[in-house]
Amino acid sequence: MNLYEILHISQDAPEEIIKLAYKGLAQKYHPDRYKGNDANEIMIKIREAYETLIDPIKRKNYDQFLTEQARRKQQQEEYIKKKEQEEFMRAQRAAFEQQNKTNSTNGSKDNSQEADSESFKMNISIDVPHSFSIFSPFIKFKNWIISKKKVFIQIGSTCIALALIFIIVIVANSYMQSLSDKSDVEAILAAEEAREAAEEAEAAADAAAVEATGIEEDYSLADSELMNDSEEVYAESDEANTVTDERAMSTYETGLLYYLQPNPAEIKTSSKQVYDTFKESGIIGIKDLISNCYITFQKSKKCLYLDLAGKYINDSGADAGLPADEFFENEAIIERMNNNFYIPNKVGADLATPHAEQIAHQTYETIEKIISDEMAEM
């Protein structure tokens, strides 16, 4: 590692870069900061590098030294390379010469063998041509076959291919025939099973029909007995209901008659309320009082008493020459009494008519007495 590499700078670095590099490395590898055992050695190398490169003369001499060192290294590398090339060429040349020697020896042997072979052939052709004359037709046939070798190969290949196709067709036909036979057998078996299933279903249907006939007869008998029993039960029930209804009706009518009995105290209170309302609000106030009563106390006898007391005051005013109000006409009062009391309480006309006449008479007498007493006090 040269001095430039120690300071981590290039060989043409200016003086400022050398100083900055030295300062940074000195701080980094100072023994107080760097904990390695070689801190002193590194600092010595950094300091020597800096002192050499910061001095222009020392740096120039060092650069010349590096240049000379590089030149020597290059010459040495070129020399080694040249020597390696020479050794390689020498080895190649020796191998080539050895190969040539080997080829020359093999060539002489081959030539001698060829000469012996030619001699042998010549001996055969000279010594035994007539001994093989009887085989000449076969030899010609053999030579013809050899000359037509490609044709025979093509023909043979074609025949083999046709034979394979024929075999495949035969095997396929056999397989299809076996499948067909198997399908026929399966179809016959399926038809036989279907026939047996149909016979079983028919037998089951006949049995079900017989059973259904018996059940139907049982149902008919049961229905007949049930009808007879029902008629007897209905007859007994009608008789019981008739008796019950008669008893209930008797009880209801007894209670209703008791409820319809006029209540003198309530008649007096209602008549006094109507008269007080008339004094405060006139006929209009009485109409509002009656309407609110039917809405609030439906089915109550109190509303009947109010309605009849109001009619007495309206009719009295009409007799004195004041205009009568349609609200207190007989038809209007009867409709209100029927819709709000008699019909909701299930009071028939045979009871409603005498009851209305009775309470009207008592209400008229009561309000007349109230008015008379007050007039007397005045």
Quick one: how far is CA 187 from the chain centroid?
Answer: 46
pLDDT (mean) for 273-297: 92
Same domain membership, residue 313 and residue 234: no
Q: Tell me the DSSP string of 114-125.
A: HHHHHHHHHHHH
Same domain membership, residue 157 and residue 254: yes
pLDDT (mean) for 312-320: 89
Decide: 360 and 271 in contact? Cβ < 8 Å: no
Decide: 7 and 53 in contact? Cβ < 8 Å: yes
Domain boundary residue among 240, 260, 280? 260
Domain boundary residue among 245, 260, 275? 260
Q: How far apart are alpha carbons 310 and 332 in whole angstroms?
A: 13
Same domain membership, residue 272 and residue 352: yes
pLDDT (mean) for 167-196: 71
Range of the domain at 239: 152-260
Decide: 53 and 62 in contact? Cβ < 8 Å: yes
Q: Could you give the number of structural domains in the chain? A: 2
Q: How far apart are alpha carbons 60 and 186 in whole angstroms?
A: 112
Whether this prediction's pTM lies above 0.85 is answered by no
Q: Convert the pLDDT of each residue in 31-63 to its tens digit.
A: 888 888 888 899 999 999 999 999 999 999 999
Q: How far apart are alpha carbons 287 and 21 in whole angstroms?
A: 122
Decide: 326 and 352 in contact? Cβ < 8 Å: no
Confidence at 3, pLDDT banded by 50, 70, 90 = very high
Domain boundary residue among 217, 239, 260? 260
Same domain membership, residue 327 and residue 364: yes
Show the tokens assigned to 315: 């009719």
Same domain membership, residue 362 and residue 336: yes
